[in-house]
Structure 1
Amino acid sequence: MITLTKINNDRITVNAIYIERIESFPDTTITLTNQKKLFVKDTEEEVKEMVIQFYKEIGLHQVQREVGDQTK
């Protein structure tokens, strides 16, 4: 789980596994696998770093890297 700051300054905790896409429009927009969108104050780079850290904590970081390596 990662904790983000929404545009209205509310904090929200999201299961990073459900993040499909992170974009900057300039606000950071996170699209979840169910196509719902979250608009947050955290930068795209900050969110990506939080997701990577979350994957490391639950042991998925190496799996994600190995799968990514196979698609080259």
Structure 2
Amino acid sequence: MIKLTRLDGEAFILNAELIRYVERRGDTFVTLTNGERLPVKETMDEVVDRSIEYQQRKHFLPPMPSTLGPAPTDTNLHTTS
């Protein structure tokens, strides 16, 4: 996920996996894999740098610990005969 800015100044988070290409046509446009085009304030280089940084972080960060906690144990499973 990368943080970008709409032309009106509103920040938003974009899933960088959905970027198909970035182009400069006056403004910077990010075209997504579904064909949607998003104009952003960032330059092409900034969008590319953030996307590369995202990919690097994604591959180098250790997995997040589970928030579910340890698996419950059933004390009734160990019966003596």
What is the TM-score when the length of structure 2 is the normalising length?
0.71
**CA deviation profile, 1:25-70 (whole Å, cap 9, x unmatched):** 020000000101100000000000000000001119xxxxxxxxxx
2:12 and 2:19 mapped to 1: Cα distance? 14
Select the structure that is richer in helix: 1
Secondary structure at 2:30's aligned position in 1?
A: strand
Stretches of structure 2 that go unaligned for 5 or more consecutive residues are: 61-81
1:37 and 1:12 mapped to 2: Cα distance? 14
Match of 1:65 in 2: none
Give the count of matched residue pairs: 60
2:56 and 2:16 mapped to 1: Cα distance? 12
1:54 and 1:26 mapped to 2: Cα distance? 26
Secondary structure at 1:51's aligned position in 2?
A: helix
What is the TM-score when the length of structure 1 is the normalising length?
0.80
The percent of aligned pairs where both chains have the same amino acid is 35
Say which one has the larger Rg. 2
Q: Which runs of 4+ in 1 moved over 4 A?
A: none
**CA deviation profile, 1:4-29 (whole Å, cap 9, x unmatched):** 01101111100000000100002000
Match of 1:16 in 2: 16
Match of 1:54 in 2: 54
For 1:1-72, list aligned pairs within 5 A: 1-59=1-59
